[in-house]
Every structure is written in C-alpha cells, then in structure tokens.
Structure 1
Amino acid sequence: MKSIEIEQVQNVLEGFINKEVYIHLETTNGAYTGHFNKALNAGVYIRNAQVSFSQAKIVPAEIGYRIGLKMNLGWIYAEGLTDWEMFEDTKLLMAGHDEDGRLMVALEISETPFSF
C-alpha cells in the first residue's frame, strides 16, 4: 500500500459515483490493537453492503484522512485512513494504520462483491 495522496484518491472515488457498488468497512481495537485500553472495546464490521453514492469527498483529519460517501438517505464515512491501493481497476482499498503499522480502520469500495 502507499500513502494517501488526496488528489489521486479523490479521482478514484469519483469514478464510483452513481454506480451500484459494494462496501467493506471495518474498525478495530480488538485483536490488531490489543495494546490499547482493554476497558474500551469498540468496532465496526460490514461487508458487501450494496450502495450507491452521489458524492465522495476526502479531507484531512486529525490523523490521516476522512472519507465521506453521500447516499440518498445518509452518509458513510471513515476516519483515520492513511494508505490506499487499487486492485483490478475495480476495487479500492483504503486503510488506516497506527505508527507501528497496525490496522485501525479499513474502507473498501468495489464494483463486484468481496469474497468471504
């Protein structure tokens, strides 16, 4: 993966606008991040949610970047993203890693469903 370059990622995001796409969104402070406070356990995992969004925006955040996808009835957003990679010209993977390289958040967008 390479570090996010805002203009490149924005261009890729715009290529998914008004298409039926599949989303994978995951946050964790569990197995990957067991070094944090054990009293707080929060996470999100959703895979193969089929959505369409009319706007996509990447902006700097306190750590990394925040990406928002505007849907008809709301938003999807992920914050703390630091790295990205494109696969097969139809799958965008963005991830946020801490200073030691541990995964904190992942957001993927694909024109085809993700495998299990």
Structure 2
Amino acid sequence: MNAEQKLALGPIQSIWDEQSRDQQRKWLQVANRYRTMKPEEQTRLHARMADWAKLTPDQRRKARENYKSVKGLPPEVRDAQWQNYQALPDERKQAVKDKAEAAKQATKPGSAKQRP
C-alpha cells in the first residue's frame, strides 16, 4: 500500500488486517479513486469508512449479506422499496429502525432473547 492509498484508507487502518484479501483488494480500488473525488465526496467516504470500522466483524458480515440481497433485486423493486421507505413519516421510520435494532440486540451472543 502506497502513501496515497494509506491516506485514503486511513479510517479503516485499525481493521485492515481483519479484512480478507478480496476485501482489501476492493478497498484499494476505492483508494485509487479517492484522489479524483471532490473534497465533499472524500469527506463523506471517510465518514462512512469510520462508521464501518466501528462495526463488529459480525455486524460487517451482516451488512455485506444485506447489501448482496438488496443488490440482487431488480432495480425497479429496489427503487420502489426505497421510495416506500422514504414516504414513511419520521415516527414510522424510527419504528422500523427500532425494530431492526431490537432484532439485532436479540441475536447478540449472551442475550437472553437469543434465538436457538
């Protein structure tokens, strides 16, 4: 990894060694595009990387699985689902987020509500 790539991937340096070779290769591709991004895009990318680095390995695995399942949907279905979500009132969006968080907490190791 060269100095420019290290700068671009700074927010995920703490988890770099945990990544598979394939994942590292994908991150390096992102790093190679970094210098062509506008400053606000670079800032947004670094913020998202920092959020990614804060996730546990299990949370990152689940996020990848969710991404793959959504990516596999036809674009019109994916867009319709997103539009439906965006049309929800803020309190309903919060209820959806709370439900997802409760499900995530219930499946954590050591949780009393952990599924068998």
TM class by shorter chain equals under 0.3
The structure with the largest helix share of the pair is: 2
The structure that has the greater radius of gyration is: 2
Q: Which TM-score applies when normalising by structure 1?
A: 0.25
The structure with the largest strand share of the pair is: 1
